[in-house]
Structure formats: C-alpha cells, structure tokens
C-alpha cells in the first residue's frame, strides 16, 4: 500500500474500534437493529446528495447492504448487547481469517508467507487476550458475533468490485440509503416500539448515534472502501488486527471494564504481528 493508503487504513480500526464498543451503552436506549438503522439512514441522508445513483450496480448494492450492513451489524450489535465489550472486540477479529480465506477462494488473492506468519502471531495474541472474560451463559452472543464476522468479510469481498467502480464515499453513501430502511423495518418486526425507543432515548445515546454516523460511517467506512478499491483484500484486512487494541482501551476507559494482565500481553503480541505484516510490505515496496 502507498503511504496515504496505509494512513487511511490505520485510521479505520481506530474509529471503528472506538465506535463499536461505545455502541454498547447506546443500546440501553436503542435496541441493536434500530441503532444500526439510525446509523446507516442518517449517514446515507448526509452523503447521497453528492453522488449519482449507481443504477447499474443497484442489485449488487442491495446484496452488499443486506449482508454487510443490515444482517451483519444487526447480529454483531445483538452479540455486543449480550457480552462485554472486551470479549466482543476480540471475537470480531475472526473477520480477518474469514476475509483472507474468502478473498483467496473467490478472488484468487494468495497472501504472502510473511503475512501468514504475522497473522499467526497476532492470533496468538488474540487467544491470550481472550483469557479472562466470563462468558458463561452468553454463548449466543459469541455465536452472533462470529457469524457476523463471517458475513462482514464476505460483504467486503463483494464490495471490492463496486468500490473500484464508484469509489468509497459513494459506496458508503448508497449503502446507507439502502441499508438504513432495511434495519428500521427489521427493528419494527423484531424489536417493536420503534417510535417509543426514538422519543425516549437519552442525550448520551443520541451523541453516540452521531459519532456512529460521522465517525464510523462517513469517515471510517469511506476510508475503508477507498483503500479497499486500490489494494488486495488480504493486505487491507491485516490492518484490522489493530481493532482490538482500540476496543480494549475504549472498554477500559469508557465502559470501565477491567481486563486482566493477559489482555495487555495479548495486545502487545497483536501489535507485533501487525508490525511484521506492515514492515514486510514496506521492505517489499523498496526492492
């Protein structure tokens, strides 16, 4: 990746990791599908004016929006609502091996050996990091997040072709326009009392929604899809291994969770694995 793309890619796990964890307190006011619906609807409303309607790609956008926005985030938020933020952040990392595997099977992208070694090192860190959280009686939440991780990775592979054709900003905008109503309709049938939730939400919950709209979607996903359009999926996916570091720090300082020493050791190992992957790319670009 170029220096610019590396910077944009590194920005993504920071804004997404923070936004994912702070979604948990917002769900005291908004249930998972409704929170997701507000997030995508508002971001689409803000952005779609600037981009022409991609009529020829409409069918693909419907599929991507349903798989990668409505169903995926509905499940991941439902899982986050059940388990603690630290554990949820860790399990989300399953999207990285899923993504590399799917990219290999569907796009023929073969990851270099050093990337594989870096991924293995990072996953050792994730294994250590997951040492302490108490998940007794909460396996449904784990299943939701793991399934959501697979769907997210699959959606990114589908989105790569579209992002190359219309750009990351336009893709984020039109996904919002299409996915937002899907999520709100799903919320109405699954969660009920949609208007009551909206009218009775706290100021704190609305502030979080604003961050999810601006931080995660307008900035985070626009950067993500822009970088994805110019680089192989497995290269970009590797940077998301920084996601648990942001999520861990947010869980500690915002949600006041108390991970044990294994969390800090695991986090350091994850960073080492990511560093190996990125240094490998840098050296490769200079040879």
Beta carbons within 8 Å of 169's beta carbon, 6+ residues apart: 47, 50, 51, 222, 225, 226
**pLDDT number for residue 144:** 93
Q: Please determine, for residue 113, whether its predicted confidence score (pLDDT) is greater than 50.
A: yes
Beta carbons within 8 Å of 238's beta carbon, 6+ residues apart: 96, 115, 118, 119, 274, 277, 278
Element (H, E) at 7: helix 3-26
State the total domains in the chain: 1
**pLDDT number for residue 282:** 45
pLDDT digits (tens, 9 = 90+) for 215-240: 999 999 889 888 888 887 767 777 77
* pLDDT-derived band at 287, boundaries 50, 70, 90: very low
Q: Please determine, for residue 184, whether its predicted confidence score (pLDDT) is greater than 70.
A: yes
Is residue 270 within 8 A of residue 107, CB to CB? The reply is no
Question: Has this prediction a pTM greater than 0.75?
Answer: yes
Among candidate residues 151, 126, 132, the one with its CA nearest the CA of residue 83: 132
How many degrees, rounded to 5, is the angle at CA 98 between CA 63 and CA 105?
75
Rounded-to-integer distance, Cα 81 and Cα 66, Å: 21
Rounded-to-integer distance, Cα 126 and Cα 129, Å: 5
Give me the residue label for tokens 């998301």. 240
Range of the domain at 24: 3-285
């Amino acid at each position: 990746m170029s220096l610019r793309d590396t910077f944009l890619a590194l920005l993504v796990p920071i804004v997404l990791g923070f936004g994912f964890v702070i979604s948990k307190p917002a769900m005291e006011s908004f249930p998972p599908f409704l929170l997701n619906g507000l997030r995508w609807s508002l971001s689409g409303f803000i952005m779609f004016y600037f981009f022409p309607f991609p009529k020829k790609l409409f069918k693909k956008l419907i599929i991507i929006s349903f798989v990668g926005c409505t169903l995926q985030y509905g499940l991941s938020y439902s899982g986050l609502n059940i388990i603690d933020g630290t554990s949820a952040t860790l399990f989300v990392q399953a999207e990285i091996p899923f993504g590399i595997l799917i990219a290999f099977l569907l796009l023929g992208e073969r990851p270099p050996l050093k990337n594989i070694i870096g991924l293995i090192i990072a996953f050792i860190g994730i294994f250590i990091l997951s040492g302490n959280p108490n998940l007794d009686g909460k396996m449904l939440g784990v299943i939701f997040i793991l399934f959501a991780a697979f769907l997210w990775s699959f959606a990114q592979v589908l989105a790569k072709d579209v992002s190359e054709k219309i750009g990351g900003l336009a893709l984020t905008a039109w996904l919002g326009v299409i996915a937002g109503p899907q999520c709100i309709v799903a919320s109405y049938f699954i969660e009920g009392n949609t208007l009551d939730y909206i009218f009775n939400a706290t100021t704190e919950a609305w502030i979080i929604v604003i961050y999810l709209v601006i931080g995660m979607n307008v900035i985070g996903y626009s950067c993500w899809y822009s970088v994805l359009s110019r680089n192989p999926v497995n290269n970009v996916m590797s940077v998301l291994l920084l996601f648990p570091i942001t999520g861990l720090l947010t869980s500690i300082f915002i949600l006041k969770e108390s991970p044990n020493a294994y969390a800090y050791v695991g986090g350091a190992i994850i960073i080492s694995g990511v560093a190996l992957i990125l240094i490998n790319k840098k050296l490769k670009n200079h040879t």
